[in-house]
Structure 1
Amino acid sequence: MKAEIIAVGTELLLGQIVNTNAQFLSQKLAGLGIDVYFQTVVGDNSERLRQAIEIGRSRADLLVFTGGLGPTQDDLTKDVLAEFLKRKLLIHEPSMEQIEEMFSSRGIHMVESNRRQALMIEGCEPLENTTGLAVGNGLTADGTHYLLLPGPPREMKPMMDGAAEMWLRSVLGEADPLYSRVLKFAGIGESNLEAKLLDLIDAQVDPTIAPYAKEGEVAIRVSTKAASLIDADRKIDDTVAKIKERIGEFLYAEQDITIEEEIVRLLRASGRKLASAESCSGGLFAELITNVPGSSGEYVGGVVTYTNMMKHHLLSIPLSQLEGEGAPGAISDSTAALMAERVRNLSDADYGVSLTGVAGPSESEGKPVGLVYVAIAERGKPTVVHTLNLRGGRSMIRLRAVKSALYRLWLALQAQ
């Protein structure tokens, strides 16, 4: 079954609210074995909504509407669809009783327009709204299925998880659900990853391979339809094995987690501790690590030594290392190494990670924007420094530097 999601509301077109409903519904429908091929956003205009219905009906078996079921005159979804299908609008009495009871219990006068929320299209199956007032509708006409859901997520999601899902299952019969596995990679860019897998992607039929970049990392979603999880795993395992042969060295997780989450897990499993010293990244490394719940057990802390004096006072790095003619400077491999070693010693951690460089917008110490040094100091081992030449704006350079530092730390933890 092919589906199209039609979100109704001028506020969506104006960017006043974000259409989070589409993401939820796409995931939900995929789990039911329904392919979402199109998503449409249309304003509160009867003619444009009618056009969206006409187009949607021509290319999808199921149209899922969100929004436009409320009490005001610009809530047009039921009106326009009923007119399009040449069906009457009727009052769903249980919903009407619920609306009247709500106003009565609060001592509020109910205006006539509130009756609109109890309207249903003739011949539909009314879908109970357990968290609001507008009744949902599920109906089939001329071979096309129509599902009408309220717009507010707090109403739409419970209805979709409850009455709407039951209705969809009744019209679907038996359908194989969609199963997916997410592979997460670090230390490799999206274009390079795709180049190494291009023949697999071009030849894909089932399972499908979809690469995408997210927050300085790259992910691949391997998906298939199957009668059971066991059947899906068998199909997906074969494709994953081929991917690992090509780029397994960059694969840090076979689930949708961040690399910092995996690092905290590895630290916890090995009973090791981590500390950090940052300059150009301004505390972003510490922020990402501490965003992981429970990371306080593995991350002992860090310092942001943005200026030379702070590097000197907090990390005891000699000023002769940082300033003066012939000095390596704050932006150097030797300073990065000292920062990592000193913060590790200061905190008695097993790993010290440091970042120092030029995030921009202009050069510093005569060194170019994007030059960043990342050092990993591990207890009992020589300190390793990595030189990065990054591109992008200031924020992107900082994020890419931190993600690279996390990848290098992940490699070190893998070597244990």
Structure 2
Amino acid sequence: MKAEVIFTGTELLLGQILNTNAQYLQQALASIGVDLYYQVTVGDNLSRIIEAIQQARARADLIIIGGGLGPTEDDLSKEALAAALNLQLKENSVALKIVERFFKQYGLKMSSNNLKQALLPEGARVIDNPAGTAPGIVLEHNQKIYILLPGPPGEFKRMLEKEVLPFLRKRIGKNLMVIRSKVLKLTGIGEAALDEKLGELLHSSNPSVAPTAKLSKVHLRITAKAQNNTTADQMIENMEEKIRNKLNDFIYGVNEDTLAKAVIKQLQKKNCRLSLVEVFTGGYINHLLTSIPGHKNYLDLCISTSNSEKLANLLHIAPDLFKQNNYVELAAALATGIKNYTNADIGFAITGSYQEGLVYIGTAYKDSSVKKMQLWGSAHEMKERAATTSLSALWQMLK
């Protein structure tokens, strides 16, 4: 079954509201093997919603519309569906009871415009909404299924879980499938090199393999469609083995794993202690590392300051080194200085210039090295990129 999702609401297009319903719905559809090829967001405009529905019915078996079931003039989803299918809107007694129930339950007076919420396109069935005034709708018309749900996340998710998914499972019947995914996380390799190494694996259809570029990282999503979770997971495992045979040196984790977690894991594996000097990132790397359970056993000290006088005195570095803008020598001296000061196994330092967009990463381990990176974006974005690049460099060195 192919699905298309339409979310209505000008506030979504303006970015005033984060559409959490989208992710929840995507995961729900995947859990029953429904293929979602298109997701559209439309403002509160009748003609544009009608157009979106007409486009969706031309390429999908299941059309789900979220939002636009309220009592106000800009709630237009039912009107648009009726117009797109050339159907009349008629008052539904079951829908009316749902609307009235809410006001009776809370002792509130119902406005006349709430009666609009009891109108349904001809042939539609009601989906109960225990948490609000807007009934949902299921309409089967010309071999297409249309489902309308209210926008508030609490109502949307509850109705999807309790009513819509059971209906779809029953409707799909013996053809019910599941879609499962696993994300492999890589660093130290770019998309072009990854594409070259994976070759034909990227053209596999089931399971499919799709790369996504991140900051100093690449995510590989393996997705399989099968009749049950066990079969899908086995298909993913088989593909993962093929990928690891080609790229294992670059894979630092899966799914929710982070680079910080991967670094702590490598420190634990090698029984090493790390000390940091963060001139450029102001303690952000330390923040990421200390969020990982067990970090206390492997982190000695983090100094986050740009006070050159204090750093020079504490780490026994020549003060002139800070004035010469020789970041390569400075990064190396800071890394060696913090290692010696704390007697840690690894000294790490990051310095640079926001104005020039340059960062220098110094490491003192079995030997010393400095890595130079060109950054871009706002100060916050550069800090985040620098931290990610630093953790990637640490992980690769330890690996």
Report the Cα distance in structure 1 between the residues aligned to 2:382 and 2:306, rounded to whole angstroms.
16
Report the Cα distance in structure 2 between the residues aligned to 1:263 and 1:167, rounded to whole angstroms.
46
The corresponding residue for 2:373 is 389
Report the Cα distance in structure 2 between the residues aligned to 1:82 and 1:279, rounded to whole angstroms.
62
Gaps of 5+ in 2: none
The corresponding residue for 1:123 is 123
Q: CA deviation at 1:309?
A: 2.0
The answer on whether the counterparts of 2:277 and 2:335 sit within 8 Å (CA) in structure 1 is yes
Q: Equivalent residues in 2 for 1:130-169 (5 A)? A: 130-169=130-169
SS in 2 for 1:332: helix
Q: CA deviation at 1:349?
A: 4.9
Task: Answer with 174-183 or 127-136: which moved more.
Answer: 127-136
SS in 2 for 1:63: strand
The answer on whether the counterparts of 1:390 and 1:400 sit within 8 Å (CA) in structure 2 is no
Q: CA deviation at 1:37?
A: 1.0
The corresponding residue for 2:363 is 376
2:390 equivalent to 1:408: no
The corresponding residue for 2:186 is 185
Q: Which amino acid aligns with 2:390?
A: A
Q: Equivalent residues in 2 for 1:90-239 (5 A)? A: 90-93=91-94, 96-104=96-104, 106-173=106-173, 174-201=175-202, 203-239=203-239
The answer on whether the counterparts of 2:50 and 2:83 sit within 8 Å (CA) in structure 1 is no
Q: For 1:313-346, what per-residue CA distance to the aligned partner results, in whole angstroms no more than 9, with x for missing partners? A: 443423144346xxxx56124x323323443455
Q: CA deviation at 1:287?
A: 3.2
The answer on whether the counterparts of 1:120 and 1:135 sit within 8 Å (CA) in structure 2 is no
The corresponding residue for 1:366 is none
The corresponding residue for 1:27 is 27
Change (3 A) 1:391 1:195: farther
The corresponding residue for 1:399 is 384
Q: CA deviation at 1:130?
A: 3.7
Q: CA deviation at 1:180?
A: 1.2
The answer on whether the counterparts of 1:211 and 1:221 sit within 8 Å (CA) in structure 2 is yes
The corresponding residue for 2:9 is 9
Q: CA deviation at 1:281?
A: 2.5
The corresponding residue for 2:332 is 337
- Count of aligned pairs: 396
Q: TM-score, normalised by structure 1?
A: 0.84
Change (3 A) 1:136 1:304: same
Task: Answer with 34-43 or 289-298: which moved more.
Answer: 289-298
The corresponding residue for 2:350 is 355
Q: CA deviation at 1:235?
A: 2.3
Change (3 A) 1:347 1:154: farther
Q: CA deviation at 1:347?
A: 5.0
The answer on whether the counterparts of 2:64 and 2:148 sit within 8 Å (CA) in structure 1 is yes
Report the Cα distance in structure 2 between the residues aligned to 1:384 and 1:230, rounded to whole angstroms.
48
The answer on whether the counterparts of 2:216 and 2:392 sit within 8 Å (CA) in structure 1 is no
Report the Cα distance in structure 2 between the residues aligned to 1:240 and 1:164, rounded to whole angstroms.
33
The answer on whether the counterparts of 1:92 and 1:120 sit within 8 Å (CA) in structure 2 is no
The answer on whether the counterparts of 2:188 and 2:216 sit within 8 Å (CA) in structure 1 is no
Q: CA deviation at 1:238?
A: 3.1
SS in 2 for 1:256: coil
The corresponding residue for 1:365 is none
The corresponding residue for 2:79 is 79
Change (3 A) 1:346 1:96: farther
Q: CA deviation at 1:303?
A: 1.7
The answer on whether the counterparts of 1:211 and 1:219 sit within 8 Å (CA) in structure 2 is yes
Q: CA deviation at 1:184?
A: 0.1
Change (3 A) 1:252 1:103: same
Q: CA deviation at 1:146?
A: 0.8
SS in 1 for 2:220: strand
The corresponding residue for 1:63 is 63
The alignment's C-alpha RMSD in Å is 2.8
SS in 2 for 1:357: strand
Q: CA deviation at 1:399?
A: 3.4
The answer on whether the counterparts of 1:336 and 1:375 sit within 8 Å (CA) in structure 2 is yes
Report the Cα distance in structure 2 between the residues aligned to 1:44 and 1:133, rounded to whole angstroms.
19
The answer on whether the counterparts of 1:184 and 1:256 sit within 8 Å (CA) in structure 2 is no
Change (3 A) 1:331 1:57: same
Q: CA deviation at 1:178?
A: 0.8
Q: For 1:36-87, what per-residue CA distance to the aligned partner results, in whole angstroms no more than 9, with x for missing partners? A: 1111122222222212111111111111100101111221112221344325
Gaps of 5+ in 1: 363-368
Report the Cα distance in structure 2 between the residues aligned to 1:394 and 1:42, rounded to whole angstroms.
31
